[in-house]
Structure 1
Amino acid sequence: MGLKTRGSAQLDKAQRRIALIKSIAENLDLGYNLTVPNYAKLIEDTRRALEEYNTLLPELSEARQKLEQLEKELGETSERMLTGVALKFGKSSMEYAKAGGSNRKRSKGSSPEQSEGLATLPVEKNGSKSGNGKVNSVN
């Protein structure tokens, strides 16, 4: 998805206004540096800046796409690196933990609060016990 080019309401308004002011006098000088030539220069500088901005957008969009592709490749390679460490040293190793992997045995035992709130029911091999102690047959 590319970035959208933009226009300028202020530039459009100024271009209409300078045409109207020129109908009064081609080189009108209102004092305080408010002259038609200065106004025309500011309009032209704004127009060039807008054109430059709109010209740079495709390059910026292309740069963003390249960055997103490199980030995707980097994420995949990071996963592969961690998997490689796991294959070489094992998921229970200190090396795996140093590389950013989480040791599942430690993480399960580190949160006893999770299992306290859950009620467990004993299950028989050929059936399951319901909450009332009766055995329900499972076929």
Structure 2
Amino acid sequence: MSLKTRGSAAVDKAQRRLALLKSINENLDLGHGLSIEAYTRLIDNTRATLEAHNTLLSNLEESRKTMTQMDNALSELSERMLTGVATVYGRNSMEYSKAGGSSRKRSASKKSISQVSSIVGVPTTQPTQTATNGKGSLSNV
């Protein structure tokens, strides 16, 4: 999942407002810290902080991908090391167990479908018997 960089609607709006304020007077100073100079300085500082933030996000994403690749490489090598011990000493050896391998029999850990009993009860019904009642007519028994 990639981290999203961001823009700043406040910086965009302030940049437009600055242009409008400069149209009144390039050196507008309304007193109490409300000046073109202070406004410009805060816009520039906010923009620089936003750029630094987005750069950090980019570096963090790169770091995350590097960590994922290193984790995968380490997991693969760990598996290969265990397989190497199994090849040299056998899967039922003490060395394999010491290396973290499981010495259980493979047939015991896997259940095959053929081991499941397939006894299905089929109801049996007896056919209806018909017999004659002695007078030549049929009756159900």
TM range (shorter): 0.5 to 0.7
The verdict on how the C-alpha distance between 1:43 and 1:76 changes in structure 2, with shifts beyond 3 A counting, is: same
TM-score, normalising length from structure 2?
0.56
Q: Which amino acid aligns with 1:20?
A: L
Report the Cα distance in structure 1 between the residues aligned to 2:65 and 2:72, rounded to whole angstroms.
11
Query: CA shift at 1:56, angstroms?
Result: 5.7
Amino acid aligned to 2:120: G
* Alignment RMSD (CA, Å): 3.7
Distance apart, 1:46 and its partner CA: 1.6
How many Å apart are 1:20 and its aligned residue?
2.9
Is 1:131–2:129 an aligned residue pair? Answer: no
TM-score, L = length of structure 1: 0.57
Gaps of 5+ in 1: 110-118, 122-128, 134-139
Query: What runs of 5+ residues in structure 2 fail to find an aligned partner?
Result: 110-114, 123-141
Aligned counterparts of 2:49 and 2:81: Cα–Cα separation in 1 = 46
Distance 1:81 1:21 in 2: 69
Shift of 1:98: 3.4
Aligned pairs (5 A) from 1:87-126: 87-105=87-105, 120-121=116-117
**Equivalent in the alignment of 1:29:** 30
Relative to structure 1, the CA distance from residue 50 to residue 93 in structure 2 (aligned partners, 3 Å threshold; closer, same or farther) is same
| Higher radius of gyration, 1 or 2 | 2
Please tell me whether the aligned partners of residues 21 and 28 of structure 2 are also in contact (alpha carbons under 8 angstroms): no
